[in-house]
Amino acid sequence: MSTPAPLIEMRGISKSFGAVKANEAVDLSVAPGEILGLLGENGAGKTTLMNVLFGAYAPDAGEILVQGRPVTINSSADALAAGIGMVHQHFHLAPRLSVLENLLIGIPGKSGRIDRAGGLARLDEIGRQHGLALDPDLPVSALSVGEQQRLEIVKALFRGARLLILDEPTAVLAPTEVDGLFSALRSMATQGLGIIFISHKLNEVRALTHRCVVLRHGRVTGRVDAPASTTSSEMARLMCGHEIVPPARGPSTPGAAVLILDGISTSRHSGMPLRAVSLAVRAGEILGIAGVSGNGQRALAEVISGIHAPDAGRMTIAGKIVSRFSPREVQALGLGRIPEDRMTTGLVTNLPLADSMVLPRIGTGAFSRNGLLRPDAIRAFAAEQIKAYDIRCPGPMTRAGALSGGNLQKALLARELAFDPKVLIVSQPTRGLDIGAARFIHEKFLAMRAKGCGIIVIGEDLEELLMLCDRIAVMYEGRIAGTLDSAEATIARLGLMMTGAEGRA
């Protein structure tokens, strides 16, 4: 017997956007029962390649074969018909419709009506086959992020997908949920499905995949046949083209507390409110806040940033009690802030970069005089920071929204660090950034730490927190479930605390 034809084969795929070659002569194949890792930095062309496979873009050259037969995929409908399903990074679900309705969208009905009974039967069957159970009549908005992802997977299987593409599926999951996802994916693979797994997290790729393809600048730069026995640094080298050494965190010599929260509680907050949160950050210390998203991190960040006043409790910045809780007040006391969502609360995407870079200090003497802006000073400041932080852009008057994520994050960092904050609060500092840009951000944090700044990093990436932080506090249901020194913290232990299983450490 000959080896079975690959489930999917992409041959010589090229795709350009203007002068940018997003994909160049990429070959890729997935056999039935195989889990293929697709690795690459941001902008390496992973998403473009998958969008070609899923019918969002037509390739300039190359062909796609499904079980040995050439196919043309011009739309997601074509891709679904060819047995290709995709779980996007941002879920494609309608939150107010039910689980079943989200499943049945685009499925022809029975004699003009929605085939509810048939849908329920299929949902039940898929749920039992792969351990992906879901309540059909709940609205999607009532599901956890992990369950929504499960629904996306079920949706693809429901449509008869034999190849499943997952774009950064673990970015939104807690460690325990990752285990559940992996066992479901392994179950699908043993039943002959093919899986393409896109991730930045090399240890996950090594744990899950059978084989890896590495993309850089749109080309295949490496193939890894035995991911489990290949080191992460070897894979990182394939992705970046050079060695990446994680920055070394020296011993810390923390000083006095620069930020103290004492019994802070909130209500009327969209999302999880805070319940008697007390914590302290000392000068020259990085405190990590771990937790599954939605456990009060946003409320915490907003209280510290002065966006929301708490109902109870006291906050002190550099020895002074915060009284009014306005962003301007906390900033004047020495707080710098890098928000979670760069595009919506970080800067103004339709204005020039220079304007966004001075926005929090627009009324200060540095940038305005007698109630009028000083455009020259603003532009000079931005130009200086662009140079200092190596922000890749045509100039200070570039529209901020046109910058890549890594450059935006650098701009936000430059904006805060230029004024030597005593305390810095950052949320998800490297989400969506590639290894190189993340490395740059980490180095800056460590440099600030050495200068005696107290830093709070709210994050979901435990490896990042372990590498960066001196202490890690875990939030669970609006409380601090416990705080660990980095020396005694492990992923397993933090993961347990994140699910509320372990109380005070």
Tell the smallest beta-carbon distance from residue 90 to another protein (Å): 8
Alpha-carbon distance 337 to 355, whole Å?
17
Taking alpha carbons only, the member of 256, 245, 246, 281 closest to residue 470 is 281
Residue 445's φ and ψ, nearest 5 degrees, are -60, -45
Tell the smallest beta-carbon distance from residue 79 to another protein (Å): 8
Number of residues that bind another protein (CB under 8 A): 29
Instruction: Estimate the crossing angle of helix 232-240 against helix 435-450, to 10 degrees.
Output: 110
Contact flag: residue 88 with another protein (CB under 8 A): yes
Alpha-carbon distance 145 to 133, whole Å?
14
Alpha-carbon distance 5 to 190, whole Å?
17
Alpha-carbon distance 293 to 469, whole Å?
19
Alpha-carbon distance 104 to 14, whole Å?
34
Tell the smallest beta-carbon distance from residue 77 to another protein (Å): 3
Amino acid letter for position 290? A
Using the CB atoms, write b or e for 415-438: b if 16+ within 10 Å: bbbbeebbbbbbbbbbbbbbbebb
**Binding residue for another protein, selected from 25, 114, 120, 307, defined by CB under 8 A:** 114
Tell the smallest beta-carbon distance from residue 53 to another protein (Å): 13
Measured from the CB atom, is 108 or 503 closer to another protein? Answer: 108
Measured from the CB atom, is 7 or 161 closer to another protein? Answer: 161
Binding letters toward another protein, positions 61-80, x by CB under 8 A: --------------xxx--x
Binding to another protein in span 208-227, by CB under 8 A: none
Measured from the CB atom, is 87 or 277 closer to another protein? Answer: 87
Measured from the CB atom, is 31 or 138 closer to another protein? Answer: 138
Tell the smallest beta-carbon distance from residue 44 to another protein (Å): 16
Amino acid letter for position 100? L
Residue 377's φ and ψ, nearest 5 degrees, are -65, -40
Amino acid letter for position 202? L
Binding to another protein in span 93-112, by CB under 8 A: 93-97, 101-102, 104-109, 112
Measured from the CB atom, is 105 or 450 closer to another protein? Answer: 105
Choose the stretch contacting another protein; rule: CB under 8 A; options: 81-89, 197-205, 361-369, 396-404.
81-89
Measured from the CB atom, is 102 or 149 closer to another protein? Answer: 102
Tell the smallest beta-carbon distance from residue 147 to another protein (Å): 16
Tell the smallest beta-carbon distance from residue 97 to another protein (Å): 6
Measured from the CB atom, is 167 or 285 closer to another protein? Answer: 167
Measured from the CB atom, is 92 or 369 closer to another protein? Answer: 92
Binding letters toward another protein, positions 127-166, x by CB under 8 A: ----------------------------x---x-------
**Binding residue for another protein, selected from 19, 69, 113, 365, defined by CB under 8 A:** 113
Q: Are 429 and 437 in contact (CB under 8 A)?
A: no
Q: Are 272 and 294 in contact (CB under 8 A)?
A: yes
Number of neighbours of residue 205 by Cβ within 10 angstroms: 24
Taking alpha carbons only, the member of 474, 476, 499 closest to residue 288 is 474
Binding letters toward another protein, positions 167-206, x by CB under 8 A: ----------------------------------------
Taking alpha carbons only, the member of 334, 490, 329, 310 closest to residue 421 is 334
Tokens found for residue 22: 């997003």
How are beta strands 35-40 and 194-198 bridged, if at all? parallel
Measured from the CB atom, is 75 or 323 closer to another protein? Answer: 75
Tell the smallest beta-carbon distance from residue 170 to another protein (Å): 20
Tell the smallest beta-carbon distance from residue 20 to another protein (Å): 15
Q: Are 41 and 405 in contact (CB under 8 A)?
A: no
Binding to another protein in span 15-54, by CB under 8 A: 54
Taking alpha carbons only, the member of 471, 425, 472 closest to residue 448 is 425
Number of neighbours of residue 65 by Cβ within 10 angstroms: 17
Binding to another protein in span 412-451, by CB under 8 A: none
**Binding residue for another protein, selected from 56, 307, 373, 383, defined by CB under 8 A:** 56
Q: Are 497 and 462 in contact (CB under 8 A)?
A: no
Interface positions with another protein (CB under 8 A): 54, 56, 75-77, 80-81, 86, 88, 91-97, 101-102, 104-109, 112-114, 155, 159
